[in-house]
Structure 1
Amino acid sequence: MAVGDDAMSAVLNRLRRAQGQLAGVIAMIEAGRDCKDVVTQLAAVSRALDRAGFKIVASGMRQCIETVDGEQPPLTEAELEKLFLALA
C-alpha cells in the first residue's frame, strides 16, 4: 500500500510531534513530575501515534479504491480518516 506525498508529509509531521511529546514525557519522569501529568502526556503521545497510523490507512484505502474503480472515490481521504477515527 503506497501513501501519497501529501499524506506522507502529514504523517511525518504527526510523528515528529509525537516524538517531541515523548521526549517531554521522559523529561517529566526524570524530573519526578506528578503521575497524573505523566499519564496525561503519555495519552497524548498515544493519540498522536494512532492518528498517524489512521492517516496511513486512510490514504492507502483511497488509493486502493481509485485503483479498483479507475475514478475518484465517493469519499475523500479526510472522510475516510474520519471514519477510521470513529471506529477507534
Structure 2
Amino acid sequence: MTALDPTEMTPIVNRIKRAQGQLAGVLRMLEAGRDCEDVVTQLAAASRALDRAGFAIVASGLRQCIVEGDGPDSIDTKKMEKLFLSLA
C-alpha cells in the first residue's frame, strides 16, 4: 500500500480529533458518575467516528493504489482484506 496523501487526510484527522474530544468527554462523565445511558451513548459515538475514519483511510489507500499502481491487478487483495477485517 502506498503512503497516504496528507491533503486527503484533513477530514479524517478532523474526525479523529472529534472522537478524541468525545473520549475525553466519556472520561469526564465516568469520573463525575454520570448516567450509564449517557456514557454509553457518548462512547458509541466515538466508536462510530473511529470506525468511519478507519474505513476512509483504507478507501483512500485503495484509491491511491489503483491510481498510482498498475491498476486493480496490482492491489494486494489479501492485505486489503486484512485491513478491512481489522476494522470489523
TM-score interval for Structure 1 and Structure 2 normalised by the shorter chain = 0.7 to 0.9
Q: 1:68 aligns with which of 67, 70, 80?
A: 70
Query: Counterpart amino acid of 2:70?
Result: V
The equivalent residue for 1:35 is 36
CA distance in 1, matches of 2:61, 2:24: 29
CA distance in 2, matches of 1:49, 1:18: 7
The equivalent residue for 1:74 is none
Counterparts of 1:12-51 in structure 2 under 5 Å?
A: 12-51=13-52
**Aligned-CA RMSD value:** 1.5
SS in 2 for 1:32: coil
CA distance in 1, matches of 2:9, 2:26: 25
Residue segments in structure 1 that go unaligned for 5+ positions in a row: 70-83
Tell me by how many angstroms 1:6 deviates.
2.8
| 4+ runs deviating over 6 angstroms | none
TM-score by length of 1: 0.73
CA distance in 2, matches of 1:21, 1:4: 26
Residue segments in structure 2 that go unaligned for 5+ positions in a row: 72-83
Query: Counterpart amino acid of 1:68?
Result: D
Aligned length: 71
Tell me by how many angstroms 1:3 deviates.
1.4
Identity across matched positions, percent: 68
SS in 2 for 1:20: helix
CA distance in 1, matches of 2:41, 2:11: 24
